Structure 1
Amino acid sequence: MMYLTAHSGSDQTPENSLAFANFFKDKKGIDVIEVDVRCNPQGELVLSHDALAKKEYVRLSELLLILEGTTIKLNCDLKEANLEPQVYQLAQKNNQWSQIYLSGNVALNYLKNWPEQLLINLENFVGRQGRSPMWDEDDACEKLEWLGQQGARVINLSHLFYTERLARKGNELELSFSLWTVDDLADIRRYQDQGIFNVTTRRAMEYLNQQEVFR
């Protein structure tokens, strides 16, 4: 079964907002919602993709309250280093840690404690081909094997970098893939048919509604 993740702002909801969480928290077929997490000068975890400005941001604690008592999971895309312990402590307050995935700026040493909950971003470890936006696929395959040796279970990467060669290598290593951000509905279906672990999209409800029509 593929997990379907609603990217922050999916289906025209406000990005990194309580309205986004409220909209998706009880939607059948939505397994995960994704938000961007940073730490403000007061030491609070807040939701923002970009560097913080002098304004108010939604606190992660507020969003967790909305999700309390639900079964939906939350992917915290960490935009800064060393936030893992804070997210863990905050989620543990209401016994919500089991609902959490961490991706983005995640340290590998946490794999020994939470291997199933870390979506390790392959792009963080792979070199580029000169000034090209594309990466070195030989290096990607080598790093994939290395990450497996470190205890990674789920590899997170842009679907644009997901190739047949990488898929074969991941299969050999018994690794799962989480792909972002897939906004072509046909591509989502194709990845679902391939048995991808997770797909993140900005068109989550649109995809589910389309699949309902096709049944």
Structure 2
Amino acid sequence: MCEITAHSGCDGTPDNSMEFVRYALASEGNCLEADIRRNRDGELILSHDETAEEAVRLGQVFELLKEKPEKRINCDLKTPGLEIPVYQLAKEYGVEGQLIYSGTVSSFFMKARPEKYPEVRVYWNIENLIPEPDLGRNICMKQMEQVFRTAVRYSAQCINMEYRLFTDRVMELLKTMGLGGSAWTVNDPEIIRSLMEKGIANITTRSLKTAVAVRKEMEG
């Protein structure tokens, strides 16, 4: 059955806050998403944009995460070069096996991952594989197939895309190639249901309670 990731700020909690983290970890979701970058002092923090304000340290989140070994954290990397520092910090807390990466995940990390960082799952953003200008146009199935083949070659678990890109043909191609689909950001219950019926691997949502309720109803 589809996994559910709590988008930062889900169900009215403040984005990238400890309130959100605690809420997501106590929920029936499988994973929580956090935006990761460095602050001016080089510390790994939860923040979508550059900020001088006080921010939650990633280490604080890992401290809570280690008490929930059944949960995962999707670290949405906002700047290049964070893959290894995040992994090293996670290892200090013993939660490296609970990591998922999305965002700016480089092909260099993907090459090294199977041998050096095998615990890390990657939901590889399509923006890393198709030039940004092309994403504003209709992407043909040939492009999709090329993207998916690259993801398979680098052993990614999922392709991470905006939910409207997951057409029936795209879902069929993913299944054929042994890849999962991770859809963001899905808040409408009917769209959540439709994607679950199609066999989507992960849904990232701000409507966490709604998504959990839909999944329960479908599991029946």
- TM-score of the two chains, using structure 1 as the length reference: 0.89
Letter in 1 for 2:183: L
Structure 2 CA distance for aligned equivalents of residues 90 and 97 of structure 1:
8
Residue pairs, 1:166-177, within 5 angstroms: 166-177=170-181
Q: State the Cα distance separating 1:189 from its structure 2 match.
A: 1.6
SS at 2:81 equivalent: coil
The answer as to 2:210 corresponding to 1:184 is no
Structure 2 CA distance for aligned equivalents of residues 188 and 106 of structure 1:
26
Fraction of identical pairs, as percent: 32
Q: State the Cα distance separating 1:210 from its structure 2 match.
A: 5.5
The aligned counterpart of 2:56 is 58
The answer as to 2:94 corresponding to 1:90 is no
Q: State the Cα distance separating 1:153 from its structure 2 match.
A: 2.6
Q: State the Cα distance separating 1:103 from its structure 2 match.
A: 0.5
The aligned counterpart of 2:160 is 156
The aligned counterpart of 1:22 is 22
Structure 2 CA distance for aligned equivalents of residues 22 and 145 of structure 1:
37
* Partners of 2:66 and 2:95 within 8 A in 1: yes
* Partners of 1:157 and 1:179 within 8 A in 2: yes
* Partners of 1:126 and 1:136 within 8 A in 2: no
The answer as to 2:129 corresponding to 1:125 is yes
Structure 1 CA distance for aligned equivalents of residues 179 and 217 of structure 2:
33
Structure 1 CA distance for aligned equivalents of residues 79 and 174 of structure 2:
27
Structure 2 CA distance for aligned equivalents of residues 74 and 178 of structure 1:
14
CA 127–86 in structure 1, closer or farther in 2 if over 3 Å, else same: closer
Q: Deviations over 1:107-127 (max 9, x none)?
A: 123333346611111122214
Q: State the Cα distance separating 1:209 from its structure 2 match.
A: 3.9
Structure 2 CA distance for aligned equivalents of residues 23 and 57 of structure 1:
17
Structure 1 CA distance for aligned equivalents of residues 83 and 204 of structure 2:
21
* Partners of 1:37 and 1:78 within 8 A in 2: yes
* Partners of 1:75 and 1:100 within 8 A in 2: yes
Structure 1 CA distance for aligned equivalents of residues 67 and 133 of structure 2:
47
Give the count of matched residue pairs: 212
* Partners of 1:6 and 1:200 within 8 A in 2: yes
Letter in 1 for 2:150: W
Residue pairs, 1:40-59, within 5 angstroms: 40-50=39-49, 52-59=50-57
Letter in 1 for 2:89: L
CA 124–135 in structure 1, closer or farther in 2 if over 3 Å, else same: farther
Structure 2 gaps, min length 5 = none
Structure 1 gaps, min length 5 = none
CA-based RMSD: 2.1
* Partners of 2:159 and 2:179 within 8 A in 1: yes
CA 134–162 in structure 1, closer or farther in 2 if over 3 Å, else same: farther
Structure 1 CA distance for aligned equivalents of residues 153 and 213 of structure 2:
40
* Partners of 1:5 and 1:32 within 8 A in 2: yes
Q: Deviations over 1:123-174 (max 9, x none)?
A: 22214667x7234323232222222123223111111222222222212211
- TM-score of the two chains, using structure 2 as the length reference: 0.87
